[in-house]
Structure 1
Amino acid sequence: MESVLQKIDDLEMKLSFQDISIEELNQEVIKLNALVARQQQQMLLMVNKLHSIEPSNMASSAEETPPPHY
């Protein structure tokens, strides 16, 4: 009879450990989701800034007139 009680105790301890592990993992997932959300927001800001930058006043290489020796 003691072996059955011991097995039940062992299972209860394992279940308790699993509950703790699941909660710790859940907290890490929450932190990572917040981090990803912040990074997405920062990326969006960077993309918007890049789109708002005015093009350079310099002509592109295709628009440049060739040097006189050509």
Structure 2
Amino acid sequence: HVQPILDQSEVYSGCYARVSLNFYAFNTNGNKGVACGLGNIQKIKDGPRLGGRTTANDDFVSEDADDDFLS
């Protein structure tokens, strides 16, 4: 099912996808190398987010929220 991705949050580090890449060599002002350009993305399925990001809810809400941590 080829459908456009309209919401940018649908593509994230950790989702499974097929991508088209364009590799090219460059030689600019004495800088030489190989670079890669990202073309199209076809999302296959969701996966766990990479990078260790958590939500504020996960970090700060606990079952003992009424406890005073200073006492």
Give the TM-score, by structure 2 length: 0.21
Give the TM-score, by structure 1 length: 0.21
Query: Quick check: which has more Rg, 1 or 2?
Result: 1
Q: Which structure shows the higher strand fraction?
A: 2
Q: Which structure shows the higher helix fraction?
A: 1
